[in-house]
């Protein structure tokens, strides 16, 4: 048994370099192929160097996540080229890659960015915005990943890779406290149990008071209250067989989802008018509630067989969700609504990968089944003057999805410099919706509809190809094409006896050309790519009001286009000093979106939601020795972006925003301890993360503010 004493070795680049990679990987990496400081990823479902992976991928190592003090994926959103991550959303966090995102308020709509935990696809985004702890790395793949990852990765994919236990005994404890009475505790321990058997367990507690105070109830809204636990059991009976069992549970109980009033509309000048849209106070009779419980278990088998590796991943996952919120945003009890969901999924993937001469290949099959039972409740209060007491209307929609796929992916090396990467995936999918609706007594809020069962099915071929040329070991020129697919579905909240409320599948054709290189003997890396993505039948979700009731409706835009440039630079100009920078130019708009609403609106030429024209970041990190193994740590970050539109109609937006973060500490790598102070949004910049029309009050406009300045201290101990 080996005991590890917390020495996190850092070489120049691997503690913070996240680079877009698109180079051929001709073989699974052997120990001698990976130099110290290089990042190994599994973006191709096998281990390859980041520099040798034919996908635009950004990777963050465990050390880098710790140095950045990353708690959730939104902490990285401004530092990944072409990626926008919505803040503080639990159920429907929108992640846009190259301008493409999906608003998952409609339970019949699938996500555009696939989320994976240890190779297991998450059927809904609800579990995705969870506390991040004890990770080996995070990989963000940009562009369609249909050939290798399958449906619903039409914009890209995010892989969360947790740390595996091994023969080393190691552990870590972190504790922190900050303003808004925020405190955090994380702990992990892993190591051997017996010969060939190891285990690990990790847990996290995150709590914080809310940023917004409800003057009517005294409740602090937009708070944080999260618990999470994960366990891993690993069997390695011999050098050829690796069996990994994983399980996780988490729980959130919050008053998140606060909305302030920007324009009072019909209540302007009345006692019900909100005095200020930026004072982080509201006066509402109903506090938002967002409760989430998530669980999951998986079994992964890796078996070296016949010169290759057979991998099988079986997984069961699920969650329950409850939320309820005010829809009039004043102290009167007029209208409120919420959604309850119960999701369960099973997935099975079997793949085999190996080499044959100049060909490195992988072939496999995949099955996915999901049941999502949803109940949407709208409540009319007595202040609306229709009923003397609160009356409910309920829409029930149970969606069952079965998806089958077979895929092949390979790299063929014509020479040491020239290679071709190609892949193909066939997907067949069927969906069933069981829908019913119970209205209010007068049918003003909702009508009453009998139960209906609707079905649909579709299939798709998703190809990809990349021609790669390497004039040198660390220089790559490439050109790629890929086609992505997202299945069609139903507008669960809009089905009626005469309307199936269907929408069509979405497709994208993506083209990319790029170059990247390492220089200064590994102390510098640069990558630049240009891309164009042509969408057909783009699925667009909108919040519309029908008979005074807010409903999320999905429709198909005839066509849309995203094109742009992404660049990254990482440099170590002096020992201990690391500099990184990113820049993205993005031109994403609707080419044809006539009849975008029932009223015949034309959104042609509008900018896609969450697609800033310009965005970028800069970070500087310095580690200086003090005495012996004692060292000083300092890091500063800046992220900037231009105007962002929130909806396809482009009615509301947030202008340019620049945010600054910092972290300063002292640590002893040999002893394993560290003490840090940190601050986010140092300038206390006011900015909006969402803005839209109110649901029922004429002329009302609501908005949600981004996080204010936060700061705190943290101590950590490795053993």
Average pLDDT of the residues in 512-523: 88
Residue among 550, 460, 549, 478 at smallest CA distance from 514: 478
Q: Show Cβ contacts of residue 275 under 8 Å, excluding neighbours closer than 6 positions.
A: none
DSSP string, 656-699: -EEEEEEEEEEEETTTTEEEEEEEESTT----EEEEEE-SSSTT
What one-character DSSP code corresponds to residue 501? -
Residue among 220, 275, 284, 103 at smallest CA distance from 695: 284
Quick: pLDDT tens for 636-649.
Answer: 999 999 999 999 99
What band does 15 get if pLDDT is binned at 50, 70 and 90?
A: very low
What one-character DSSP code corresponds to residue 650? -
Which residues, in sequence order, are bridge partners of residue 230?
A: 202, 248
Residues 519, 525 contacting (CB under 8 angstroms): yes
Quick: pLDDT tens for 36-59.
Answer: 456 667 766 777 766 777 778 888
Rounded CA-CA distance 454/399 in Å is 10
Residue among 410, 309, 406, 302 at smallest CA distance from 354: 309
Q: What percent of the chain has pLDDT over 90?
A: 77
pLDDT value for 29:
41
How many residues are listed for the chain in this entry?
Answer: 719
Quick: pLDDT tens for 229-280.
Answer: 999 999 999 999 999 999 999 999 999 999 999 999 999 999 999 999 999 9
Q: Which pair of tokens denotes residue 247?
A: 């399980």
Quick: pLDDT tens for 570-629.
Answer: 999 999 999 999 999 999 999 999 888 877 889 999 999 999 999 999 999 999 999 999
Structural domain boundaries in the chain: 2-718
Rounded CA-CA distance 155/159 in Å is 14
Q: How many CA atoms lie within 13 A of 555 on its CB side?
A: 18
Rounded CA-CA distance 355/362 in Å is 9
Asked if CATH classification 3.30.1330.10 holds for the domain at 2-718, the reply, yes or no, is: no
Q: Show Cβ contacts of residue 508 under 8 Å, excluding neighbours closer than 6 positions.
A: 100, 144, 154, 483, 484, 533, 534, 535, 536
Mapping DSSP to helix (H, G, I), strand (E, B) and coil, where does residue 64 land?
helix
Quick: pLDDT tens for 396-429.
Answer: 999 999 999 999 999 999 999 999 999 999 999 9
């Amino acid at each position: 048994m080996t005991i590890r004493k917390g020495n996190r070795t850092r070489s120049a680049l691997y503690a913070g370099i996240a680079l877009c990679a698109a180079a051929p990987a001709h073989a699974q990496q052997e120990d001698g192929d990976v130099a110290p400081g290089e990042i190994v990823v599994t973006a191709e479902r096998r281990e390859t160097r980041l520099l040798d992976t034919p996908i635009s991928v950004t990777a963050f190592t465990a050390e880098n996540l710790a140095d950045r003090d990353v708690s959730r994926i939104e902490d990285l959103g401004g530092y990944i080229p072409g990626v926008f991550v919505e803040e503080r959303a639990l159920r429907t966090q929108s992640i846009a890659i190259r301008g493409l995102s999906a608003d998952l308020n409609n339970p019949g709509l699938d996500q555009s960015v696939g989320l994976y935990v240890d190779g297991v696809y998450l059927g809904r985004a609800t579990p995705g915005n969870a506390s991040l702890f004890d990770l080996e790395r995070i990989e963000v793949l940009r562009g369609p990943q249909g050939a290798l990852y399958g449906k619903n990765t039409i914009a890209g994919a995010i892989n969360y890779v947790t740390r595996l236990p091994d023969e080393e005994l190691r552990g870590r404890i972190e504790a922190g406290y900050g303003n808004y009475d925020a405190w955090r505790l994380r702990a992990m321990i892993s190591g051997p149990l017996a010969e060939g058997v190891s285990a690990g367990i990790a847990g996290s507690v995150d709590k914080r008071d809310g940023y917004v105070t409800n003057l009517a109830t005294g409740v602090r809204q937009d708070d944080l209250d999260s618990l999470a636990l994960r366990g891993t059991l690993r069997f390695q009976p011999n050098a050829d067989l690796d069996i990994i069992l994983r399980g996780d549970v988490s729980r959130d109980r919050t008053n998140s989802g606060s909305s302030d009033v920007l324009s009072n509309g019909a209540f302007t000048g009345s006692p019900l008018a909100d005095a200020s849209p930026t004072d982080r106070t509201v006066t509402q009779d109903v506090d938002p509630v967002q409760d989430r419980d998530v669980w999951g278990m998986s079994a992964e088998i890796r078996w070296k067989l016949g010169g290759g590796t057979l991998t099988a991943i079986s997984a069961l996952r699920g969650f329950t969700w409850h939320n309820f919120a005010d829809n009039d945003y004043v102290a009167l009890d007029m209208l409120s609504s919420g959604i309850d969901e119960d999701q369960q999924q099973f997935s099975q993937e079997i793949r085999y990968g190996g080499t044959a001469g100049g060909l490195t290949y992988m072939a496999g099959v995949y099955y996915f089944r999901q049941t999502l039972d949803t109940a949407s409740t709208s409540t009319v209060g007595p202040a609306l003057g229709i009923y003397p007491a609160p009356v409910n209307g309920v829409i029930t929609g149970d969606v069952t999805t079965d998806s089958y796929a077979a895929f092949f992916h390979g790299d063929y090396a014509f020479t040491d410099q020239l290679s071709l990467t190609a892949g193909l995936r066939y997907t067949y999918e069927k969906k069933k919706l069981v829908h019913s609706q119970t209205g209010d007594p007068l049918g003003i809020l909702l009508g009453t509809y009998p139960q209906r069962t609707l079905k649909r099915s579709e299939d798709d071929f998703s190809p990809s190809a990349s021609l790669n040329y390497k004039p040198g070991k660390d220089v790559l020129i490439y050109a790629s094409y890929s086609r992505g697919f997202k299945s069609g579905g139903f507008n669960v909240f809009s089905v009626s006896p005469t309307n199936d409320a269907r929408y069509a599948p979405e497709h994208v054709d993506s083209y990319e050309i790029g170059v990247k290189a390492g220089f200064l003997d590994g102390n510098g890396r640069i990558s630049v790519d240009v891309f164009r993505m042509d969408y057909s039948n783009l699925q667009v979700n909108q919040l519309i009001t029908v008979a005074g009731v807010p409903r999320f409706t999905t429709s198909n835009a005839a066509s849309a286009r995203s094109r742009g440039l992404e660049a990254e630079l990482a440099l170590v100009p002096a020992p201990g000093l690391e500099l990184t920078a990113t820049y993205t130019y993005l031109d994403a708009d609707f080419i044809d979106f006539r009849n975008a609403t029932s009223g015949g609106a034309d959104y042609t030429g509008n900018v896609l939601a969450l697609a800033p024209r310009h965005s970028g970041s800069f970070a500087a990190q310095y580690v200086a020795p003090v005495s012996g193994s004692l060292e000083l740590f300092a890091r500063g970050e800046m992220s900037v972006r231009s105007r962002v539109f929130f909806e396809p109609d482009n009615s509301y937006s947030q202008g340019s925003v620049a945010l600054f973060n910092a972290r300063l500490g002292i640590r002893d790598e040999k002893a394993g301890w560290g003490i840090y102070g940190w601050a986010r949004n140092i300038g206390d910049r006011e900015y909006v993360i969402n803005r839209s029309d109110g649901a029922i009050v004429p002329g009302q406009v609501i908005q949600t503010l981004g996080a204010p300045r936060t700061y705190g201290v943290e101590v950590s101990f490795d053993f």
